[in-house]
Amino acid sequence: MNYIIKTEGLNCGHCDASVESALMQVAGVIDADADHATATVQVMANKPIEHEALASAIASAGAFRALSITEA
């Protein structure tokens, strides 16, 4: 399963790393790649993940918010 998450609050590489680290703690996530230039995060998972779990992980990383989550 792949997810594309539009975000708010990603401003730098440190922001990207914080969000990636938080998403990697979600059960089933095998890779996360945040890009502040496009305000998106691409997530790869080995099983379906509740969108709320992804959004919660992003919010827990700091002043970030998931605006939309789509399955790719």
Distance CA 43, CA 34 (A): 9
- Domain 2-71, CATH among 3.40.720.10, 3.40.50.620, 1.20.1250.20, 3.30.70.100: 3.30.70.100
pLDDT of residue 15: 96
pLDDT, tens digit (0-9, with 9 covering 90-100), for 2-22: 999 999 999 999 999 999 999
Average pLDDT, integer, range 47-54: 97
Q: How far is Cα 19 from Cα 48, in angstroms, rounded to an integer?
A: 19
What would the DSSP string read from start to end of 33-67?
Answer: EEETTTTEEEEEESS---HHHHHHHHHHTSS-EEE
pTM for this entry = 0.95
Q: What is the pLDDT of residue 27?
A: 97
Q: Where are the domains of the chain?
A: 2-71
pLDDT at 48: 97
